[in-house]
């Protein structure tokens, strides 16, 4: 704990003056030691919104910012389960319920060995602003476990999901907290989690989103994040009088978000040429077409294989072990794997190679140095909380569909998704326009913040 933060009283956390951001961050770091991802996410927001807070005595007096960086509730629990050899395994489960000012907690579950409290607090914090931007009434949360689904049998994944839900069930509900998928949590896992919740509570309700169509899921939820990210890129490019057609795109990841990003890019006439996973990157200069994409979907969702196999199957492609896609020449980049996957050097390479639109399907995929490079180059840079909000937006439609016992058609959902991405874009422009360029980081943070802050003010000290 630093000396300055120790001696700082709570009244001083948001000061007037040019050092306000650093002083506030000293307070956050001292209160949350050893949580670098959380510090990074908070700093990015605070840098944008500090002038708004400083200019608004009501926000300062009500300690809105200090309250926003303190989760309303953090739940951590033991998840014991039995593997196929009969051995007992112990994982750690979490749910971070960050903010419920504008609606019930909402946000995904991540199952990945890199999951820590810091990672989930960063994700839950981002989710508060993202959900606010969707225009739907949803608070922010995130949860998950350090469980690694890779290499596990369906039976093991089911037993883990059941053990995880056995504790989580008491903390969630259709108007309390509605989890969904994220890394390592897709349709299979949501099914197992839902089944256990239903068995424990004897209630069939919309407690999770991303459910199968047969049991209350929304059409287009699997597609929504990737499609939404491409719609957002389309809006950003339109600001510059450009379209998607004919553009070459680098996409990272090969999971849910990456797959449907590629699909929408193809539908709009772009040429996606890369995919990746934690092992490496494939580059297919001939383009990843519909047929190759269908093969990737089968590889990932059914066989649960590795992206390296793509280069064995398609001779137009080459596999680069241990590499990320950012050295490839492209017009558009869609980071869709994980946090901090584009560093300062990667960002410089992208810009130098002519990439002028970076649209984040993943959450916080760009390091602060990388963000600085994109902002200084004044390219179209859509931060995750705006660009990937389509997923949670369609989750919001699924919640609404479940509570109203109704169904929407594919066209209706697609239309609403496009309208929501347009409205997020408009809000970003409203708060982020600088001359003839738009700072989408500034725009998304300020627009997301004001709605939550005003709801908190209205609800008193809670
Ligand atoms: P999936 O589990 O379907 O896919 C994740 C992909 O990212 C895989 O290809 C995976 O490779 C790769 N990846 C994961 N962790 C790492 C890592 N540490 N290093 C390198 N590659 C990694 O997850 P999603 O597609 O759902 O999520 C991708 C990103 O999008 C995440 O940042 C998530 O938070 C974000 N997001 C997801 C939404 C959704 O609706 N699903 C909504 C909004 C954002 P490997 O198989 O080797 O692990
Ligand atoms: O990061 C995200 O927005 C998600 N993983 C989706 C959350 C949701 O509740 O649909």
Ligand nearest to the CA of 109: 2
Whose structure tokens read 């970003």? 428
Mean pLDDT of the chain: 96
Residue 256 CB–ligand 1 contact under 6 Å: yes
Q: How far is CA 57 from the centre of its chain?
A: 32
Tell me what the mean pLDDT of segment 435-458 comes to: 98
H or E segment to which residue 151 belongs: none
Ligand nearest to the CA of 151: 1
Q: What is the pLDDT of residue 195?
A: 98
Which residue has the CA at smallest separation from atom 9 of ligand 2?
A: 107
Whether pLDDT at 206 is above 80: yes
Give whole-number Cα distances, 320 to 267, 289, 311, 344, 352, in Å. Answer: 27, 20, 10, 21, 21
Residue 141 CB–ligand 1 contact under 6 Å: no
For a mutational test of ligand 1's pocket, the pick from 134, 320, 338, i.e. the residue with the most ligand atoms closer than 8 A to its C-beta, is 338
Burial category of 368 from C-beta neighbours within 10 Å (exposed 0-12, middle 13-18, buried 19 and up): middle
- When pLDDT is cut at 50, 70 and 90, the band that residue 2 belongs to is very low
Whether pLDDT at 36 is above 60: yes
Tell me what the mean pLDDT of segment 160-176 comes to: 98
Q: What is the pLDDT of residue 158?
A: 98
Which residue has the CA at smallest separation from atom 10 of ligand 1?
A: 277
- Per-residue pLDDT of 129-138, as tens digits, reads 999 999 999 9
Q: How far is the CA of 127 from the centre of ligand 2 (A)?
A: 8
Ligand nearest to the CA of 392: 2
Whether pLDDT at 10 is above 80: no
Which residue has the CA at smallest separation from atom 1 of ligand 2?
A: 108
Least confident of 10-14, 57-61, 114-118: 10-14
For a mutational test of ligand 2's pocket, the pick from 208, 232, 337, 388, i.e. the residue with the most ligand atoms closer than 8 A to its C-beta, is 388
Q: What is the pLDDT of residue 4?
A: 42
Whose structure tokens read 């990015």? 44
Residue 337 CB–ligand 1 contact under 6 Å: yes
Which residue has the CA at smallest separation from atom 4 of ligand 2?
A: 108
Active site residue 142: yes
Whether pLDDT at 15 is above 80: no
Q: What is the pLDDT of residue 299?
A: 97
Spatial CB neighbours of 155, under 8 Å, sequence gap ≥ 6: 84
Which residue has the CA at smallest separation from atom 3 of ligand 2?
A: 392
10 versus 162: the higher-pLDDT residue is: 162
Q: What is the pLDDT of residue 390?
A: 98
Residue 363 CB–ligand 1 contact under 6 Å: yes
Which residue has the CA at smallest separation from atom 19 of ligand 1?
A: 278
Strand pairing of 88-99 and 73-82? antiparallel
Whether pLDDT at 392 is above 50: yes
Q: How far is the CA of 415 from the centre of ligand 2 (A)?
A: 19
What percent of the chain is helix, strand and coil (3-state, nearest 5)?
50, 15, 35
Residue 274 CB–ligand 1 contact under 6 Å: no
String of b and e for 120-134 (b: at least 16 CB within 10 Å)?
A: bbbbbbbbbbbbbbb
Q: How far is the CA of 208 from the centre of ligand 2 (A)?
A: 11
Least confident of 3-12, 29-38, 186-195: 3-12
- When pLDDT is cut at 50, 70 and 90, the band that residue 7 belongs to is very low
Residue 257 CB–ligand 1 contact under 6 Å: yes
Q: What is the pLDDT of residue 18?
A: 77
Tell me what the mean pLDDT of segment 267-274 comes to: 98
- When pLDDT is cut at 50, 70 and 90, the band that residue 5 belongs to is very low
- When pLDDT is cut at 50, 70 and 90, the band that residue 11 belongs to is low
Whether pLDDT at 340 is above 80: yes
- Per-residue pLDDT of 116-129, as tens digits, reads 999 999 999 999 99
Q: How many CB atoms lie within 10 A of CB 279?
A: 13
Handedness of CA 246, 248, 249, 254 (dihedral sign): positive
Alpha-carbon gap, residue 58 to 54, rounded angstroms: 10
Contact 429, 443 (CB under 8 A): yes
Ligand nearest to the CA of 106: 2
- When pLDDT is cut at 50, 70 and 90, the band that residue 3 belongs to is very low
Ligand 1 closest atom vs CA 184:
2
Catalytic residue among 106, 121, 130, 142: 142
Ligand 2 closest atom vs CA 110:
5
Pocket of ligand 2 (CB under 6 A): 106-108, 127, 130, 180, 182, 209, 363, 391-392, 395
Whether pLDDT at 8 is above 60: no
Q: How far is the CA of 76 from the centre of ligand 1 (A)?
A: 22
Q: What is the 3-state secondary structure (H, E, C) of 181-219?
A: CECCECHHHHHHHHHHHHHHHCCCCCCCCCCCHHHCCCC
Ligand nearest to the CA of 388: 1
- When pLDDT is cut at 50, 70 and 90, the band that residue 12 belongs to is low
Q: How far is the CA of 258 from the centre of ligand 1 (A)?
A: 8
Whether pLDDT at 145 is above 50: yes
């Amino acid at each position: 704990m630093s000396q300055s933060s120790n001696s700082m009283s709570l009244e001083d956390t948001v000061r007037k003056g040019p050092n306000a951001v650093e002083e506030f961050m000293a307070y956050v770091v001292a209160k949350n030691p050893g949580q670098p991802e959380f510090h990074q996410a908070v700093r990015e927001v605070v840098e944008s919104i500090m002038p708004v807070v400083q200019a608004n005595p009501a926000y300062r007096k009500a300690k809105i910012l200090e309250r926003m960086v303190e989760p309303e509730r953090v739940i951590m629990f033991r998840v014991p389960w039995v593997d196929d050899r009969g051995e007992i395994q112990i994982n750690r489960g979490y749910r971070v319920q960050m903010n419920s000012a504008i609606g019930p907690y909402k946000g995904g579950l991540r199952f990945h060995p890199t999951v820590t409290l810091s990672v989930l607090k960063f994700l839950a914090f981002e989710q508060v602003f993202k959900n606010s931007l969707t225009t739907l009434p949803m608070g922010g949360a995130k949860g998950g476990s350090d469980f690694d689904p890779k290499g596990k049998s369906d039976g093991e994944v089911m037993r883990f999901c059941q053990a995880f839900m056995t504790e989580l069930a008491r903390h969630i509900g259709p108007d309390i907290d509605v989890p969904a998928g994220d890394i390592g949590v897709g349709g299979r896992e949501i099914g197992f989690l839902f089944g256990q919740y239903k068995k424990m509570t004897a209630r069939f309700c919309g407690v999770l989103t991303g459910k199968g169509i047969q049991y209350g899921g929304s059409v287009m939820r699997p597609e929504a994040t990737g499609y939404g990210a491409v719609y957002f890129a389309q809006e950003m490019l339109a600001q510059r009088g450009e379209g998607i057609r004919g553009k070459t795109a680098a996409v990272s990841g090969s999971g849910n978000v990456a797959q449907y990003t590629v699909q929408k890019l193809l539908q709009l006439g772009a040429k996606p040429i890369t995919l990746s996973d934690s092992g490496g990157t494939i580059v297919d200069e001939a383009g990843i077409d519909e047929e190759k994409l269908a093969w990737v979907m089968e590889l990932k969702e059914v066989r649960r294989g590795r992206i390296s196999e793509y280069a064995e199957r398609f001779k137009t492609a080459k596999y680069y072990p241990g590499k990320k896609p950012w050295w490839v020449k492209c017009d558009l980049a869609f980071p869709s794997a994980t946090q901090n996957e584009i560093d300062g050097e990667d960002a410089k390479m992208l810009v130098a190679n002519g990439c002028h639109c970076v649209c984040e399907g993943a959450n916080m995929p760009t390091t602060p140095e990388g963000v600085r490079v994109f902002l200084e180059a004044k390219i179209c840079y859509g931060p995750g909380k705006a660009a990937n909000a389509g997923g949670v937006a369609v989750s919001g439609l699924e919640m609404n569909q479940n509570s109203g016992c109704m169904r929407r058609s594919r066209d209706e959902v697609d239309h609403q998704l496009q309208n929501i991405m347009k409205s997020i874009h408009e809000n970003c422009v409203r708060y982020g326009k600088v001359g003839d360029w738009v700072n989408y980081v500034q725009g998304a943070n300020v627009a997301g913040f004001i709605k939550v802050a005003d709801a908190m003010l209205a609800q008193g000290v809670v």
